[in-house]
Amino acid sequence: MKRNITKILLALTVIASACNKKNDTNTDVDKGEVSIKIAGISYSDNDGNLQTKASTAKSQVSTTGIQNKTVPFNNEIDVKATLTAVTSSSALRASAGSTKASTAPIALDNGAKYLIAAYDASGNYVNNTGVLTYSNASTNWTMTLSAGTYTFVALAVDPGQTFPTINLNQNLANISFNVSGADTDLLWKKQSVTIAGGQNTVQNLVLSHVFTEVKATLESTSANVVGNITAMVGGTITPNYQSATFSFASGTYTQVGQSLNRALSFTGTGLTWSSNPTLIITEAAGTTAGKINFGTVTLNATQTGVRSGLIDLSNLSLQKGTKYDLKLRLVPRGALDIPNSNYYWGSANLKAGSPPTAVEAAQYVLGGVHNGGGSQGYCSTVLGTGWQTPSQAEYESLIAAGKARGTYNGQTGWFLGTATVPTTNLDNYMFLPDNKSVVVESGSGNVSTHIPADALGVYWADRTVQGTAKPAVILTATDVYIMPIHQNNAIGIRCVRNK
C-alpha cells in the first residue's frame, strides 16, 4: 500500500513539474523585446509613422507653400520676396546653424537632452529612460514587455537648453508642461508600436520640430545699379509668443502671453546679407499672419551713390512647426532679374502709344506695337535712364541660356532663360507672349525682310534706326530665332538695361 502511494506521489510530482515548465514557456512566448532609437529630426513631419530598421520606404524632400510678394524699397527699387516652406519626410536640420535639406535623417546634436517614455494601450505609465544626453555613440533603449500595443513618446531639446520638468508617471492623456521661449527648440514624436510575443522589434524614431523657424537672405542684384548693402538696422519678426503649454500626448501646444517682436540679426558684405535662423512660437491653431520688418537698409551703388529704404512684409502665412526660407532680392522697379543674366529685362511689354507711357501689368499681356524707325528711345522714356530696346547680342545671350514653349495665365508664348517651362516663380524668367494678332505688317522690298508666315510673335532686337531692315526676334510654334525684317513693321518691344 505504501509503495502504491509513493508511486502516485511521484507521478503527481512529474505532472506538476511538466505543467510548471509549460507555464514558464507560455510566459516567455507572451513577451517580446522592443528597441527604440532616435534616428533623426525634421520639420513638419506630421505623419506619425516610425520607420522600422528594415523599411524600404524612400525619404522624400519637398518644397511646398511658396509665397511671392513684391513690395517697394524706395521710389526706384522693389523687393522681390519669396517665402518657401521646406518640408521633409526624414530630416532637415540638426541645429540652428544648419539649414540644408537632406534626404537622410540627421542626428541630434551632441549634447542635446532627450527622453523616451512608454505607455500601455490605455495610456497608463510603463517606463521611461530618464533625461539622457545625446552623443553619436548613444545606444537604443531596449526593454522586454508583454505582447500588446504600446505608445512611445520621445522629447528632446537643443544643447544648452533646460529640459522641461514633466510628471511622466500618470496617464498619458493628462500630461502637459510649460515651455519658456522658442529657443528651447522642442522636438517631439509619438509612435504606437505592437509587440509580438517571442519577437524582437527594432524601431527608428524621427522627431519633429514643434516651433517655427525663419531664415532670411537679402540680396542686391547689382553693385552698379542697386548697390552693395552696407548696413541693416532693426530687423524684427512677429508673431513671437513668450511661452506655450505643450501636450505630451498630442504634440500640440497653446500659446501663452502676448506676442512681442523677435529681433532678426543680419550679417554680410557686398551684395548678400543673411540672418541667423530664428525660432518663434506662432499661434497654435491654423495659419498665423506673420510680419517681417527689416528696418533701414543702406545701399551704396556705383551709379547712384548712397541711398536707403525700408522693407516691410505683412500677411505672410506662417504654420507652426515649419521651417521657412525667405529670400529677398532688390531689383530696379519694372525689372526682371533672370538667373545668370548680365542684364535686367523689362517686367512686361511696352504698352501702345506714340510714345507709350507705361509697360503692361504682366508678362503675358500682349502690349502695343511700334515701328522700328522711331521707337529706339521709348524704353528710357517709360522706365528711365539706362533702359533701352534690346540688341541682337543681348537677346542671343538670353536665348542661349534656354528656351521653352509654354503658357502663362493661359497665353501661349516662349520662356527665355530656361530650358524647361517653370511651374513656380514664372517671373524669374522672360516670357514673350505670341503677339502676332496685334502686329501691323508694313514695308516693301526684298521678300527676305518680310515677317515669316509661320511667325506667332515678333519683337525688335535692335535699338538703332536703319534704312530698311533691322533684327527682330521671331517666335514660331517650334523655335525662337532672330532675322532682319523691314523697320516699317509695327511689332512688340521688351526693354533691357545693363546691370
Note the pLDDT tens digit of each residue in 424-453.
889 999 999 999 999 999 876 666 689 999
Q: What share of the chain has pLDDT > 90, as a percent? A: 67
pLDDT (mean) for 155-176: 95
Q: What is the pLDDT of residue 444?
A: 63
Count other C-beta atoms under 10 Å from residue 193's C-beta: 18
Q: What is the pLDDT of residue 55?
A: 28
Alpha-carbon distance of 487 to 498, in angstroms, equals 25
Q: What is the residue type of 115?
A: L
Alpha-carbon distance of 163 to 128, in angstroms, equals 15
Cβ contacts of residue 68 below 8 Å, gap of 6+? 80, 81, 82, 83, 425
Under DSSP, is residue 375 helix (H, G, I), strand (E, B) or coil? coil
Q: What is the pLDDT of residue 30?
A: 85
Of the given ranges (60-69, 223-232, 395-404, 473-482), which has the lowest mean pLDDT?
A: 60-69
Count other C-beta atoms under 10 Å from residue 143's C-beta: 14
Alpha-carbon distance of 381 to 431, in angstroms, equals 22
Q: What is the pLDDT of residue 82?
A: 93
pLDDT (mean) for 270-279: 95
Q: What is the pLDDT of residue 45?
A: 47
Judge whether residue 257 has pLDDT over 70: yes
pLDDT (mean) for 296-319: 92
Judge whether residue 340 has pLDDT over 60: yes
Q: What is the pLDDT of residue 15?
A: 47
Q: What is the residue type of 102?
A: S
Q: What is the pLDDT of residue 27?
A: 53
Residue 313, all three cell numbers: 512684409
pLDDT (mean) for 14-38: 63
Q: What is the pLDDT of residue 294?
A: 87
Q: What is the pLDDT of residue 105?
A: 62
In the chain, domain spans: 30-333, 336-498
Alpha-carbon distance of 219 to 158, in angstroms, equals 30
Q: What is the pLDDT of residue 58?
A: 30
Cβ contacts of residue 217 below 8 Å, gap of 6+? 272, 273, 274, 275, 325, 326, 327, 328
Judge whether residue 295 has pLDDT over 80: yes
What's the order of all strands across the beta sheet hosting 176-180? 176-180, 241-247, 253-259
Q: What is the pLDDT of residue 474?
A: 98
- Greater model confidence, 456 or 25: 456
Structure confidence at residue 41 as a pLDDT band (50, 70, 90): confident
Judge whether residue 185 has pLDDT over 80: yes
Judge whether residue 342 has pLDDT over 90: yes
Q: What is the pLDDT of residue 288?
A: 81
Task: Output the pTM of the full model.
Answer: 0.79
Average pLDDT along the chain: 86
Q: What is the pLDDT of residue 465?
A: 78
Structure confidence at residue 104 as a pLDDT band (50, 70, 90): low
Structure confidence at residue 188 as a pLDDT band (50, 70, 90): very high
Alpha-carbon distance of 147 to 343, in angstroms, equals 69
Of the given ranges (65-69, 102-106, 116-120, 269-273), which has the lowest mean pLDDT?
A: 102-106
User: Whose CA is closest to 375, among 460, 455, 436?
Assistant: 460
**What DSSP letter does each residue of 458-494 carry, written as one string?**
EEE---S--SSEEEEEEE-SS-EEEEEEETTSEEB--
